[in-house]
Chains A and B, each alone.
Chain A
């Protein structure tokens, strides 16, 4: 039930992000969601793409340091309190969210959030037990 995310190490230098998007564009890889965390010196770019293996390869070939992580895509009811319900469930179960960000596409009337957990298997169980809908990787990349 997991999805794959790739992450890229970027120094805080002009043009680095552009180099990543250019590399992916040239390889015909489509970016589905993205988040950038940064400090004063460096940043970590996280991406959900339609072809993880290819994206990883072309970025590595360009000399970037690339990592691959399991994340969980969860449907979030698109109404006030929708996200809160999910976080409350996780909090009660003592599951820690490392970080999260929004997916571009909606599924029906629901939004999609990408979650990075310490222990994704455990988190998926908690969410499913509480009736939350998880979107698996294959469906996510094609959305």
Chain B
């Protein structure tokens, strides 16, 4: 089902006309209300009025994650707090996450986009949606929730965790759509099996999985183990949350980007040059309808390519390939964004010395496992095993506290972390996706 036939199947020319009109309005508003954008435009010698066609967008400087951090917490908001009705945030270190805001209209836009996404992924108003994305500052849970209600489906706001209870709910409530991170979906399958519940006998028809990258191989595994059709959903809180792009269940070949709300570009991450359709590079977004938190040429650091070929589902919106990697060192562990520098801050806080550390990410069963190896310097060392074990526990506790991800901490001898060209290898990702 196509939720919004008019927009989702709009001819490209009409769509581009809408994009240009909305882009101009967004630039005017950002320029007038966000000092950061005003300064950035001034430094580049342009005014919003100079942008006369969609190609002119390329003249505007990029916005980066660091820019958002520099304006923590509300510096990038384009409306007074009176008009903000919702705040979300992505994980950060000691008090510096990325904060995003929504007006009532933004919340409604987001719900519409999620209703479109759920429909594209196979949901209808008659469905029961088991929503196992985390509810809270993370946009996953509430994003799906509002979209499901907008669609008119029944939503079970089960959130993440408490897996055994989730299996009972699935067995007894008969949900037909599963929304979760792909790794958690597989974990649900395993736990169900341990409990003697056959996932294939449950009523699930479709699964809408995102918040972490996953491969075609993993899709095959999920579909055969869980007995449902699995589609990929993409989004990031800086742009709006989930619902920026979605695969249609008919093709399952690339994610349609809702271009009437976001303009995508693919750039060469080194030169910043815009690349043509079909070329792999870094995905950049400009929001063109958001009020509270507009982003202009925001660099996602996600690597993908765009495909403008018509799709069997009838949508005219361009498709992005499944995300294949990152241009920075961000890791996604169980759906949580983790930067090595965040772990470093935690270690610094525990010891006030620069630590040598390494993150090892593995997949144990179907779940990601993070091990943080920390070299024991003289400052950290104690002759008592007890205090060394306490140290491990304290680091793990702080990582969980600040980043929301569980980690096993392992103390290792000095110089046991490999250094290449004198620089420590910070991340070993053993997951094969």
- Name A's B-contacting residues (CB within 8 A): 5, 7, 9-11, 16, 37-39, 41-44, 46, 63-67, 69, 98-99, 116
6 A-B pairs, CB-CB below 8 angstroms? A37-B385, A65-B376, A65-B378, A67-B383, A99-B384, A116-B383
Taking CB as reference atom, which chain A residue is nearest B410? Answer: A41
* Other A-B pairs, 8, CB within 8 Å; known A9-B388, A42-B412: A7-B381, A11-B413, A37-B385, A44-B385, A63-B413, A65-B380, A66-B381, A67-B382
> Once bound together, how far apart are the Cα atoms of A140 and B413, in whole Å?
30
Residues of chain A within 8 A (CB-CB) of B377 are: 65
> Once bound together, how far apart are the Cα atoms of A39 and B390, in whole Å?
13
Residues of chain B within 8 A (CB-CB) of A66 are: 378, 381
> Once bound together, how far apart are the Cα atoms of A123 and B383, in whole Å?
18
Any chain A CB within 8 A of the CB of B411? yes
Any chain A CB within 8 A of the CB of B415? yes
Any chain A CB within 8 A of the CB of B416? yes
- Name B's A-contacting residues (CB within 8 A): 376-378, 380-386, 388-389, 410-416
Taking a contact as CB atoms under 8 Å apart, the answer to whether B416 and A11 are in contact is: yes
Residues of chain A within 8 A (CB-CB) of B415 are: 63
Residues of chain B within 8 A (CB-CB) of A63 are: 413-415
Residues of chain B within 8 A (CB-CB) of A9 are: 376, 381, 388, 411, 413
Residues of chain B within 8 A (CB-CB) of A99 are: 384
Binding site secondary structure of chain A: strand
Taking CB as reference atom, which chain B residue is nearest A9? Answer: B376
Taking a contact as CB atoms under 8 Å apart, the answer to whether A69 and B383 are in contact is: yes
- Closest approach, in angstroms, between the C-beta of A65 and any C-beta of chain B? 5
Binding site secondary structure of chain B: loop
Taking a contact as CB atoms under 8 Å apart, the answer to whether B382 and A65 are in contact is: no
Taking a contact as CB atoms under 8 Å apart, the answer to whether B383 and A44 are in contact is: yes
Taking a contact as CB atoms under 8 Å apart, the answer to whether A67 and B378 are in contact is: yes
> Once bound together, how far apart are the Cα atoms of A7 and B378, in whole Å?
11
Taking CB as reference atom, which chain B residue is nearest A60? Answer: B378
Taking CB as reference atom, which chain B residue is nearest A43? Answer: B385
Which of A16, A43, A98 counts the most B-chain CB atoms under 10 A from its CB?
A98
Residues of chain B within 8 A (CB-CB) of A44 are: 382-385, 388
- Closest approach, in angstroms, between the C-beta of B392 and any C-beta of chain A? 8
- Closest approach, in angstroms, between the C-beta of B360 and any C-beta of chain A? 13
Residues of chain A within 8 A (CB-CB) of B376 are: 9, 42, 65
Taking CB as reference atom, which chain A residue is nearest B416? Answer: A11
Residues of chain A within 8 A (CB-CB) of B412 are: 11, 42
Taking a contact as CB atoms under 8 Å apart, the answer to whether B413 and A65 are in contact is: yes
- Closest approach, in angstroms, between the C-beta of A7 and any C-beta of chain B? 4
Residues of chain B within 8 A (CB-CB) of A67 are: 378, 381-383
> Once bound together, how far apart are the Cα atoms of A10 and B411, in whole Å?
10
- Closest approach, in angstroms, between the C-beta of A19 and any C-beta of chain B? 10
Residues of chain A within 8 A (CB-CB) of B388 are: 9, 42, 44
> Once bound together, how far apart are the Cα atoms of A67 and B379, in whole Å?
9
Taking a contact as CB atoms under 8 Å apart, the answer to whether A42 and B381 are in contact is: no
> Once bound together, how far apart are the Cα atoms of A9 and B416, in whole Å?
12
- Closest approach, in angstroms, between the C-beta of A85 and any C-beta of chain B? 25
Which of B389, B413, B414, B415 counts the most A-chain CB atoms under 10 A from its CB?
B413
- Closest approach, in angstroms, between the C-beta of A72 and any C-beta of chain B? 14
Contact A42/B383 with A9-B376, A65-B377 known, Cβ cut-off 8 Å: no
> Once bound together, how far apart are the Cα atoms of A46 and B381, in whole Å?
13
Contact A39/B389 with A44-B383, A67-B382, A67-B383 known, Cβ cut-off 8 Å: yes
Taking a contact as CB atoms under 8 Å apart, the answer to whether B411 and A41 are in contact is: yes
Taking a contact as CB atoms under 8 Å apart, the answer to whether B414 and A7 are in contact is: no
> Once bound together, how far apart are the Cα atoms of A59 and B261, in whole Å?
63
Taking CB as reference atom, which chain A residue is nearest B386? Answer: A98
Taking CB as reference atom, which chain A residue is nearest B384? Answer: A98
Taking CB as reference atom, which chain A residue is nearest B377? Answer: A65
- Closest approach, in angstroms, between the C-beta of A2 and any C-beta of chain B? 14
Residues of chain A within 8 A (CB-CB) of B380 are: 65
